[in-house]
Amino acid sequence: MSDFPDDMPFFDEAPSPRATPARAPAQGGGIAARAMAARQGSAPDYLKGLNEEQRLAVETIDGPVLVLAGAGTGKTRVLTTRIAHILSLGRAFPSQILAVTFTNKAAREMKQRVGLLVGEAVEGMPWLGTFHSIGVKMLRRHAELAGLRSDFTILDTDDVIRLIKQLIQAEGLDDKRWPARQFAMMIDGWKNKGLGPSEIPEGDARAFANGKGRQLYQAYQDRLKTLNACDFGDLLCHPIRIFRGNPDVLKEYHKRFKYILVDEYQDTNTAQYMWLRLLAQETGAPGQKNVCCVGDDDQSIYGWRGAEVDNILRFDKDFPGAVVIRLERNYRSTAHILGAASHLIAHNEGRLGKTLFTEKVEDDDSRVNVHAAWDSEEEARAVGEEIETAQRKGHKLNDMAILVRASFQMREFEDRFVTLGLNYRVIGGPRFYERQEIRDAMAYFRVVAQPADDLAFERIVNVPKRGLGEAAVRQVHDTARALRIPMLEAASNLAESDELKPKPRAALREVAANFERWQKALDNTPHTELAETILEESGYTDMWKNDRSAEAPGRLENLKELIRSMEEYESLRSFLEHVALVMDSEKNEDLDAVNIMTLHSAKGLEFETVFLPGWEEGLFPHQRSLDEGGRSGLEEERRLAYVGVTRAKKNLHIWFVSNRRIHGLWQSTIPSRFLDELPEAHVEVAEAGNSYGGYGGGSFAGGRGGRQNPYGASRFDNVGQDSGSFSNTYATPGWQRAQANRNEATDRNWGSRSGHAVERIGYGETDSGYGAGRGSVKSRTIEGELVAKSVSDTPSPFKVGDRVFHQKFGNGNVSVVDGNKLTIDFDKAGQKRVLDGFVTGI
């Protein structure tokens, strides 16, 4: 493995400026010309326009460097310019730079931007890609060292679950009691930590399948090997093991990569970290560690996926002598937005510490708007109105985004926008290649390209229906296992034997004959044509044509799209390779539409105007983050809030509602603690407008109950009483109504699962990192507040037939009592289910 076939020198000869014929320097066409300009003292133009810190980050190319790049500080620009700089100095060939990202999108963008800086030569950067695409590339080279052949297939999560299910059944275990999905997640978790079957903690091993966890994991790995397949985790774990067991192989890579760059370093998991450390031990020459990691600890939001913020926090210990460069000059947002973001994130403890600033301070910039709404419906209505108003003022819908914490929040906005006739797009829905029809089609192609791909075979052997029931498929399966041959071959054998009934036998014979024919056609038919033939002849397209469900036309359209996208690839095989790792649906930029997405998928994006709805305790921060993650869970939620706030360039609107329907029940909610953590100076509390008052503000204007907020003192508690210390915007009637409602909401929101009381943890303690004396959030104490009272063992004070009043729905009669859940026939609103705490007897 001493030579790398793709080692295509980017330059014709040695990478010295002299080697390339001189071009007109002013045109900025050639790298050589730029390099020459650099030598002559005047900075090459790609460095122009960088600020001091950015330039330092670009030019410090030797030795370990950590670039802490705050939101909107030009991170991608630094990365791409740094690559251009290395190339233009002639310090490395493009093929000697390892540049890793997390997503295909980021990789694509980086390729494109390097291309713009450097010329057409992006193809010369074979090692710019995602962790996984680079992992596959390495693994294909050394597959035999992992017990695989280099044409191994990559299984997606769906395949993995089906495979595990088979193994669980083969083990004689109850697959209901031990769900394959859950075990797949466990394996994923282990692989994120780089742990093989023999390395997993004893406790983990015992936790699943009556202590058979380890054995099952081992069986899974063995099965993958016989299938000549691997899962996503293996794409990194195998290379790690290969590097460790074969120092000569690792050495090849040490010699090869002169520079290593990593994007979004705060999102790396342990396996990625190990992989990186192995490679970064040496770059090019002994003792050289030219590794540059770029990231932002304040934007680490993937802990639940195995990311270790600790990796970035520890960088200078992993690489002694590392240069740490902070990018804090923000080019995206107004001073108000940055002020809000910085103040918010300062409440986190575990961070390296950065403060964003901007130089442009415009007088007419608006402050961050906080809005209260009665319920999520009104929230959607009001946001819709604001969007329409902005649109009338000439703003593009494309420049607006609604960023939600949980995807269920989207529906209400979609409904509203449909009624308004307002265009919207949802970003990050189900991914293209995860759709059923795409996976089915892919399974056909996989079997043709890789006859041993049993999982693919099993998936489509009876799709469309061919009368091959469970029994027939099992027989094929068993024969294949017994003879140690692929299922396709077994099917072909069985079709010739008389072990099956005539009907399945004929069906199998046809399937086997079809695949044989397609395989023969593989090398002498254009692959798109072959793909179409396969889908036609197999009856797959007909299946959807005959399906008169609403989705069928869309599915056919998707299949066409699949074939279209194949055209860009050389062969069926190269297409399959890419589709396993790449393939995402692209948004239609032509349409002017509001963007709706989760906060997670908003990372890296920016919009003129941003709406952040649902800032309520329990939803944001999400209760489960608090329950499972404690303090660090809360901090991750806060980082998520920070990500949301920093997406906005000019206008930011944060919303919270007083009532939200969770799991079908109306629950009263209280404003998110994150609202309290925003600095008053940059926030304005907006009057909620006419719709809010509609519920008779007078009805509870008198401060019902006057209950003390159990979560401790809040800025919101004192509105109207202590006007001196607060901006008078907090004294608006709408705010006070929200306030009154906030005090109403206490112990009965956000039920725990299965009716058990859940202790709220990770809240309060001290208000670390936040300047004392700011008063508003200082005095919280931990109280072990019970979030949810048990649902059914508290008898309800109401009985069937009682006449009651509900703040949202008005008067009604109780028709069913189920613990503290009431079904009420409201005079106006119809039948609803609500918790008894929200109604009063009349």
Active site (catalytic) residues:
75-76, 263-264, 299, 647
Query: What is the smallest separation between the CB atom of 565 and DNA, expressed in angstroms?
Result: 15
Residues 591-610 that bind DNA (CB under 7 A): 597-598, 600-601
> Measured between alpha carbons, how far is 677 from 675 in angstroms, rounded to an integer?
5
Rounded-to-10 torsion of CA 310, 315, 319, 323: -170
Residues 120-159 that bind DNA (CB under 7 A): 130-133, 157
Chain center to CA of 619: 18
Residue 465 binds to DNA (criterion: CB under 7 A): yes
Query: What is the smallest separation between the CB atom of 664 and DNA, expressed in angstroms?
Result: 2
Residue 636 binds to DNA (criterion: CB under 7 A): yes
Among 614, 441, 681, which Cα is nearest to 538's? Answer: 441
Q: Cβ(355)–Cβ(589) under 8 Å?
A: no
Q: Cβ(619)–Cβ(660) under 8 Å?
A: yes
Query: What is the smallest separation between the CB atom of 727 and DNA, expressed in angstroms?
Result: 32
Residue 177 binds to DNA (criterion: CB under 7 A): no
Residue 776's alpha-carbon distances to 191, 328, 669, 675, 726, in angstroms, are 44, 27, 20, 11, 10
Residue 502 vs 724, nearer CB to DNA: 502
Residue 105 binds to DNA (criterion: CB under 7 A): yes
Residue 305 binds to DNA (criterion: CB under 7 A): yes
> Measured between alpha carbons, how far is 252 from 230 in angstroms, rounded to an integer?
24
> Measured between alpha carbons, how far is 784 from 782 in angstroms, rounded to an integer?
6
Query: What is the smallest separation between the CB atom of 384 and DNA, expressed in angstroms?
Result: 21
Interface pick for DNA out of 462, 493, 525, 729 (rule CB under 7 A)? 462
Interface pick for DNA out of 380, 468, 490, 745 (rule CB under 7 A)? 468
DSSP for 354-400, written as a single string: ---B-S---TTPPPEEEEEEEEHHHHHHHHHHHHHHHHHTT--GGGE
Binding site per annotation, positions: 69-76
| Number of residues in contact with DNA under rule CB under 7 A | 50
Interface pick for DNA out of 24, 52, 120, 176 (rule CB under 7 A)? 176
Query: What is the smallest separation between the CB atom of 106 and DNA, expressed in angstroms?
Result: 7
Residue 542 binds to DNA (criterion: CB under 7 A): no
Residue 707 vs 753, nearer CB to DNA: 753
> Measured between alpha carbons, how far is 175 from 166 in angstroms, rounded to an integer?
9
Residues 6-25 that bind DNA (CB under 7 A): none
Residue 467 vs 526, nearer CB to DNA: 467
> Measured between alpha carbons, how far is 534 from 707 in angstroms, rounded to an integer?
69
Binding mask 188-227 for DNA (x = CB under 7 A): x---x-----------------------------------
DSSP for 714-776, written as a single string: -GGGGTTT-GGGS-GGGGSHHHHHHHHHHHH--TTSSPPGGG---B--SS-S--TTS-TT--T
Among 81, 79, 90, which Cα is nearest to 10's? Answer: 90
Residue 625 binds to DNA (criterion: CB under 7 A): yes
Residue 806's DSSP bridge partners are 810, 839
Residue 759's DSSP bridge partners are 786
Query: What is the smallest separation between the CB atom of 233 and DNA, expressed in angstroms?
Result: 5
Q: Which residue has the tokens 């950067």?
A: 125
Residue 306 binds to DNA (criterion: CB under 7 A): yes
Tell me the backbone φ, ψ of residue 14, rounded to 5 degrees: -65, 150
Residue 210's alpha-carbon distances to 177, 203, 214, in angstroms, are 10, 12, 11
DSSP for 60-129, written as a single string: --SS-EEEEE-TTS-HHHHHHHHHHHHHHTTSS-GGGEEEEESSHHHHHHHHHHHHHHH-SGGGG-TTEE
Residue 43 vs 406, nearer CB to DNA: 406
Take residue 401 and report the two structure tokens written for it.
């985004």
Residues 380-409 that bind DNA (CB under 7 A): 405-408
Binding site per annotation, positions for ATP: 69-76
Residues 409-448 that bind DNA (CB under 7 A): 428, 431
Residue 625 vs 807, nearer CB to DNA: 625
Give the range of 255-263, 510-518, 632-640, 797-805 binding DNA by CB under 7 A: 632-640
Question: What's the residue count for the chain?
Answer: 842
Query: What is the smallest separation between the CB atom of 753 and DNA, expressed in angstroms?
Result: 5
Binding mask 252-291 for DNA (x = CB under 7 A): -----------------x----------------------
Interface pick for DNA out of 102, 716, 726, 735 (rule CB under 7 A)? 102
Q: Binding residues for DNA, per CB under 7 A?
A: 102-105, 130-133, 157, 175-176, 188, 192, 232-233, 269, 303-306, 405-408, 428, 431, 462, 465-469, 581, 584, 597-598, 600-601, 622, 624-625, 628-629, 633, 636-637, 663-664, 753, 833
